[in-house]
Every structure is written in C-alpha cells, then in structure tokens.
Amino acid sequence: MKEQGAKERIISTACDLFYKQGYQATGINQIIEEAGIAKASLYQHFPSKEALLNEYLLITRLNNYEHLLQFTAKMHPGKQKLMGLFECRLERMETSNFKGCAFIRIAYELPGLNQEATAQVHAHTQGLKTFIEEQLLVIKHSFPKGELREMTDMLLNLYEGAGLQGYIQRSVKPMEDTKKVVRKLIATL
C-alpha cells in the first residue's frame, strides 16, 4: 500500500502552493517537483492547470467550512457560535501568516474567472451568510425578515472588512476590535 496516491499528492501540493504563493505565481513545474511526480502524470489526472484551480477552490471551501463547524462544535448555537466565527478566522489569520481568504485572493488575482471557480467563490460567501443568519435566528427567534437580512449583511461586511484590513496590515487587531464591536451589537438583541 502506497503512502499516498499520485492524484492526492498533486492536489494537496497544488492547494498548498496556490494558497501560499498565489495561482499565477505557482507553475506546473513547481507542483510536479514538490509533489514528486512526473508531468505526464499530472496531465493524466487533470486536463489543465485551470482544472487544478477548480479542484483547489472546491476542496478549500469544503475544508474551510468543515473547520468552522469543528471549531464551533462545542459552542452554544446563537451568540457563542456567532462569536466563534470571528475567533475561527482569528486563528486562521495567525496560522496562515496573514495570507488572507483564499476565495477573495483568487477573485482579485484572476478578474476573468471561469464559471465553476466563480460558483465556488459565491458558494463560499453564501455559506458564511447562512451561518450568520442561522445564529441570528437562534438569538432572536422572532426576527423580522428585513431586519434579519440587514443584520446578516452588516455582520458579513464587518467580518470581511476586518479580514481585509487584517490582511493589509498583517495584524489581528482589526479582527479583534471588530469582534468586540460585534459582541456589543448582538448584546442588545
């Protein structure tokens, strides 16, 4: 039994490099070298570099979401899980050395994104939105539809804005400050 199949090595190496260095800055040759496979093997599993990109986005999205669920698994639904979203991001900012959100990076790096990749970016955002909305509904069961939406969007904007500022400044401070503000915001609900 092998340690890991060639395809798995390709994918995990590509995911690593695409996130660490960016998609454009990562060449096929670097991927095959670090994965320890032959170039022909790569093109047997993936028809193009773009196919690797789509696989990268899909896997990263599932991983991110899974990580969020595990991170907040033992928290109480509602306020605690909502704060957990921010804490989870804080943790990832540090462990990733402020590399930023994979989906936003791709969206800015490649203005002309293919359909499938675009769908992954949207799915990621929608996932965040849904998570926030669910917690808000737990906090305040009788949320008027319009206000729920408004609050969800606002929290998402704060979350993304703080993530962006943190990325630019290479600091957790914007996210920590935002966490405090959010705590105050949802305290009044």
- Residue 125 touches which member of DNA, a copy of itself, none, C-beta under 5-8 Å by kind: a copy of itself
CA 125 to chain centre: 9
Residue placing its CB nearer to a copy of itself in the complex, 25 or 38: 25
Q: Rule CB under 8 A: choose which of 38, 62, 69, 154 binds a copy of itself.
A: 154
| Residue partners of 37: CB distance under 8 A and separation at least 6 | 6, 9, 10
Handedness of CA 78, 81, 83, 86 (dihedral sign): negative
Note whether 174 binds a copy of itself by CB under 8 A. yes
For the residues of 24-84, what is the DSSP string, one character each?
Answer: TT--HHHHHHHHT--HHHHHHH-SSHHHHHHHHHHHHHHHHHHHHHHHTTTSPTTHHHHHH
Q: Which part of the chain contacts DNA (CB under 7 A), choosing from 34-42, 71-79, 102-110, 176-184?
A: 34-42
Note whether 39 binds DNA by CB under 7 A. yes
Give the contact letters, 131-150, x = binds to a copy of itself (CB under 8 A), - = no.
-------------------x
Note whether 108 binds a copy of itself by CB under 8 A. yes
Residue 84 and residue 132: Cα distance in Å, rounded? Answer: 11
Q: Rule CB under 8 A: choose which of 28, 75, 148, 164 binds a copy of itself.
A: 164
Applying CB under 7 A, which residues contact DNA?
Answer: 1-2, 5-7, 26-30, 36-41, 43-45, 47-50
